[in-house]
Chains A and B, each alone.
Chain A
Amino acid sequence: MAKVSVLNVAVLENPSPFHSPFRFEISFECSEALADDLEWKIIYVGSAESEEFDQILDSVLVGPVPAGRHMFVFQADAPNPSLIPETDAVGVTVVLITCTYHGQEFIRVGYYVNNEYPNPELRENPPLKPDFSQLQRNILASNPRVTRFHINWDNNTDRPEAIENQDPNLACGLPLSYTPIKGLGLPGYIPGLLPENSMDCM
């Protein structure tokens, strides 16, 4: 059972111009005081095709976390346009908010992001080279995709059963190891993570 569960993520200032910072108001609940800080990250997916275009917009430590309900605003700068492939600048992409404890990711909240020109003319005839100053970012705030992972919340690492359900890649703390959720649909479901349901057929 996760010691921390995210109660809500509110997307602030949405929609907003491409260059304005991201702001998420995150409220979460902690069932037991945490010994160490939580680490939150915002990852911007530059291109659905490859994770090499992923940008970690920011990462913050959050703590101390006593038992109870807490909230904070996570603000991060807009992605660096030069790292985004020109073909992917306009259209639908994804922004991810992840949280890790002791280097283990236990929740991943994904939002679809639609970047488009509010100006109808530009929309009709987009410039070859994307004009980021004209782009508007619209986060599909009403439909977050939440994936929770089972992690070891205790300090002792000699309890393999606590993390057995976990993708080993995630335990290593690799920030961008979410390959399975590529290929869009951004399903909050990673096949390898959840055990098969052994339901029998009628």
Chain B
Amino acid sequence: MKLLKPTWVNHNGKPIFSVDIHPDGTKFATGGQGQDSGKVVIWNMSPVLQEDDEKDENIPKMLCQMDNHLACVNCVRWSNSGMYLASGGDDKLIMVWKRATYIGPSTVFGSSGKLANVEQWRCVSILRNHSGDVMDVAWSPHDAWLASCSVDNTVVIWNAVKFPEILATLRGHSGLVKGLTWDPVGKYIASQADDRSLKVWRTLDWQLETSITKPFDECGGTTHVLRLSWSPDGHYLVSAHAMNNSGPTAQIIEREGWKTNMDFVGHRKAVTVVKFNPKIFKKKQKNGSSAKPSCPYCCCAVGSKDRSLSVWLTCLKRPLVVIHELFDKSIMDISWTLNGLGILVCSMDGSVAFLDFSQDELGDPLSEEEKSRIHQSTYGKSLAIMTEAQLSTAVIENPEMLKYQRRQQQQQLDQKSAPAREPGSAASVAGVVNGESLEDIRKNLLKKQVETRTADGRRRITPLCIAQLDTGVNATSTPAALSPSVLTTPSKIEPMKAFDSRFTERSKATPGAPVLTSMTPTAIERLKEQNLVKDLRPRDLLETSSDSDEKVPLAKPSSLSKRKLELEVETVEKKKKGRPRKDARLMPVALSVQSPAALTAEKEAMCLSAAALALKLPVPGPQRAFTLQVSSDPSMYIEVENEVTAVGGVKLSRLKCNREGKEWETVLTSRILTAAGSCDVVCVACEKRMLSVFSTCGRRLLPPILLPSPISTLHCTGSYVMALTAAATLSVWDVHRQVVVVKEESLHSILTGSDMTVSQILLTQHGIPVMNLSDGKAYCFNPSLSTWNLVSDKQDSLALCADFRSSLPSQDAMLCSGPLAIIQGRTSNSGRQAARLFSVPHVVQQETTLAYLENQVAAALTLQSSHEYRHWLLLYARYLVNEGFEYRLREICKDLLGPVHYSTGSQWESTVVGLRKRELLKELLPVIGQNIRFQRLFTECQEQLDILRDK
């Protein structure tokens, strides 16, 4: 191990509260107190790593400093991508910084240091919400969320994709929250506060998972920060300041059951910061020794108020190294390099130390693939199927594919390109504007500048623009190789006896990091839970009358405890007993409830004749008069007045229709029970089972239709008229073409169960009737097959488990309007939830997602909703591409392409729901091109499309 204190890393003697190394290892940021403001400084890493670079005056040490925080900066953190830097401070703000490329470097005006900023980092977002000092910030493992905690006792989760949107505010701490850490697989976030508790929150619903207080009972609240850390394998959470037998410790909390049996002891004062090495290590294989695989282990650095630093390996009971007297004041923050071999430590005394380890000391780091394999096998998390490293070995066979990939790269490059300025060439300050040097401009500025007078006689100067802003990322920096250099060792290094981690019985049984210990038992337990839960989901409890017998065992992963699940079962049973429920949305059932229509029904007994009604839907009673709004834009309404005019003792009913001011009216001989209209037709159902249809101008289109039984519901869409009768038969006619679409189809098959009712009726633009039933299912009638098809089910477990977020083209793409969306309502959130349920095995999630997407495609097709069909088909294809399902993708492409050479026997239709299949295929091609694995398919499709085009 080598140790170095680069004295040039300082805030002019002011405390440094935070340090963080950029993921590419070329720079690091410090945050702390500046001259009457907060200060963030970005430093060059290479002078720390290499002595030659440190001495070379052409290599800048400080890259950028930002004095924008109004008060002390408590935390700086790079996003995992390295694109952003977040800083939080006593001014209650979080600032998010991004690299910008400008003409020329800049100085912070008015700051005592006159050093030019070599790199330009610009604040792109400012996050205001906390009402007190921000103590810690943390990016989630995939940079989707940014968490911040504050002395206002809250933790705020920001949507990092859409700043400054707040996703959640985690309330529950009763003291200043001083540290945050994300679970490496993204399921939890943990916070530690002065209220002597450490809380773990679920990212699924942002609710409290557990609160751990016991190890903190004896703690006093005098530590400036409590930076806790989660191990990279996800198994352990290590707290900052905890107490055990009046001695300060860092408490080890096991993910499994949140047990607190172990701790790191030995520091004489409170532990301020714990930081796990991002790498997982395995024992260095000594040549000649038996090649038995050893358990992987983690490495952790602990800093304390006692000014000392200890580094631990989870496979050892003693610390690897303890360094005393490294600083004059408390250690405030620690950051590991991404390769896991170096750490930067900062202190309240305003200095920074760098420690450099060798692989002999720490072990062999696992590769990222091995690490993600551990995550996947333990937590079933679905990571990107093909990583960059795997891709690089694939050979691109098709020039078109190559072109496509190149174009993509070019686009990325374009975004990045900009006048890239190499660090070190900062000498020339003068930029050039329109070929004129800045110096020339300055000479004549006063003469040149445009000055006008405002209406009230004030001088107004139009400033001269000398540079456009551009936030393009300067991508010129390349990771500096970490090479050993001569480092000074100013402080004593000794392994210390007092340092000892106390292990319990359980952990003694599995020495080393028990990375892969208890996977199978949990899985079994989980399965048991699933069977127990069946499909009782809290979400649906309120709207379900759950009569369906086909309870599919849900693949729903449950992070809830068993006890909670049992509670839910009880709730459901209570609900069942409490029937009949009063739900205004559902129509009362004629059989069990006396409806006002009963009287009418008696009156019309002769009309009903001997119709044996197995099912009876409610019928509307006659009203004196009623008005019906058909549409608001164009404004159209129907007015009905019954028994108004008497001509020779015969009472007539009047029907009036007003469409954008144009009015027509007509009379009918019997009382009108119900009316419906669309922009093409108006229809009314009268007593004596008569149905009349009029054109938009009031012309009668057909002689009255005699319905088989009294009308229950009447509906019009376009030129389609749908009539649902009291006997639960359904008919749909196209009155313009004068054809029947659905002929007296019985609802028997879908209205099973005694209290099932139709809650909503929909008739699509294509004349497809859809029945939404009270049990949350929706069926549409498929006229070509004469079948009822299930198109939506509120209790659909697939919808809840499907995770296809990664296949969505953009955030808003979720919203696709159409009949399917109307029927299914907002189910779009469910997929998002599923994404957070990492405990589902990846394979199961894939299957459910596929099944769900296929359901959607088929449903959209049956509903003949072309817009939605296209939406779901593209989504489905994108998912197939992302997850690498070749056969299904090939089948889709084959169907869309059709036969290239015309043959008479071909059954192939060139369009589907009004969309040209080959056009759809063209849309699919770029999607397919995203995965090199499908390059052959891409080539085939493209060639054949070209052939077809040439024809």
Show the binding face of A for B, using Cβ within 8 Å: 1-2, 5-9, 23, 25, 27-31, 37, 58-75, 109, 144-148, 150, 161-162, 165, 187-189, 193-195, 197-200, 202
Contact = CB atoms under 8 A, between A and B. Distances in A.
B269 to A, nearest CB: 9
B36 A189 contact: yes
A75 B151 CA distance: 46
Contact of A200 (B222, B441, B445): B222
A1 B446 CA distance: 30
A182 to B, nearest CB: 17
Contacts of B44: none
The CB with the most chain B CB atoms within 10 A, among A64, A71, A162, is that of A71
Nearest to A110: B110
Interface in B302-354: 305, 329-330, 348
Contacts of B91: 150, 165, 195
A139 to B, nearest CB: 14
A1 B122 CA distance: 10
A145 B465 contact: no
Contacts of A189: 36
A8 B107 contact: yes
By size class, the interface of chain B is 35 or more
Please name the 9 residue pairs, one residue from A and one from B, whose CB atoms are nearest each other, closest first: A146-B110, A70-B463, A1-B126, A69-B467, A61-B460, A189-B36, A73-B446, A72-B463, A60-B459
A124 B111 CA distance: 36
Contacts of B222: 200
A132 to B, nearest CB: 24
B123 interface: yes
A25 B464 CA distance: 11
16 contacts: A29-B469, A37-B460, A61-B460, A62-B460, A62-B462, A62-B463, A64-B462, A65-B463, A69-B465, A70-B464, A71-B464, A72-B462, A148-B37, A161-B128, A188-B36, A198-B90
B33 interface: yes
Contacts of B329: 202
Given A6-B109, A31-B122, A162-B128, A68 B305 contact: no
Contacts of B93: 1
Interface stretch (B66-74, B543-551, B754-762): B66-74
A195 B134 CA distance: 13
Contacts of B442: 25, 71
B110 A109 contact: yes
A71 B463 contact: yes
B109 A146 contact: yes
B224 A200 contact: yes
Nearest to A162: B128
B445 A69 contact: no
B449 interface: yes
B454 A68 contact: no
Contacts of A193: 70
A31 B408 CA distance: 29
B460 A60 contact: yes
Nearest to A38: B463
A188 B34 CA distance: 13
Contact of A148 (B33, B70, B469): B70
A72 B445 contact: yes
B167 to A, nearest CB: 19
B458 interface: yes
Contacts of A72: 445, 449, 461-464
Contacts of A30: 469
Nearest to B38: A197
B102 interface: yes
B174 to A, nearest CB: 17
Contacts of A200: 222-224
Nearest to B33: A197
Nearest to A6: B109
Interface in B523-556: none
A62 B461 contact: yes
A181 to B, nearest CB: 12
A188 B109 CA distance: 13
B106 interface: yes
B876 to A, nearest CB: 40
A2 B469 contact: no
B20 interface: no
B220 to A, nearest CB: 11
Interface string B52-78: 000000000000000110111000000
B110 A197 contact: no
A32 to B, nearest CB: 9
Nearest to B307: A202
Nearest to B126: A1
Contact of B71 (A59, A64, A197): A197
Given A1-B123, A61-B461, A69 B68 contact: no
B215 interface: no
The CB with the most chain B CB atoms within 10 A, among A2, A5, A8, A189, is that of A5
B263 interface: no
Contacts of B123: 1, 31
B95 interface: yes
Given A194-B70, A198-B90, A200-B223, A31 B460 contact: no
A73 B460 contact: no
Contacts of B47: none
Contacts of B454: 61
A199 B128 CA distance: 21
Nearest to A187: B36
Contact of B72 (A8, A62, A165, A199): A199
B109 A199 contact: no
B469 A144 contact: no
B466 interface: yes
Nearest to A195: B71
Given A31-B123, A199-B15, A68 B461 contact: no
Contacts of B110: 6, 109, 144-146, 188
Contacts of B109: 5-9, 109, 144, 146
Nearest to B449: A72
Given A25-B445, A148-B70, A202 B466 contact: no
B95 A199 contact: no
Given A68-B465, A147-B36, A148-B37, 19 more contacts: A28-B463, A30-B469, A37-B460, A59-B459, A61-B460, A62-B460, A69-B465, A69-B466, A69-B469, A70-B463, A145-B110, A146-B109, A161-B129, A165-B70, A188-B36, A194-B71, A195-B91, A200-B223, A202-B330
A61 B456 CA distance: 12
Nearest to B100: A31
Contacts of B465: 66, 68-70
Contacts of B441: 71
Contacts of B106: 7, 29
A60 B461 contact: yes
Interface in B13-66: 15, 33, 36-37
A188 B223 CA distance: 31
A34 to B, nearest CB: 11
B903 interface: no
Contacts of B70: 148, 150, 165, 193-195
A73 B441 CA distance: 11
A199 B71 contact: no
Contacts of B131: 161
Contact of B305 (A8, A58, A188, A202): A202
Contacts of A29: 106, 469
B468 interface: yes
Nearest to A73: B446
Nearest to B120: A29
A116 B396 CA distance: 78
B133 interface: yes
Contacts of B223: 200
A104 to B, nearest CB: 14
B224 A63 contact: no
A1 B95 contact: yes
A188 B112 CA distance: 12
A2 B814 CA distance: 35
Contacts of B305: 202
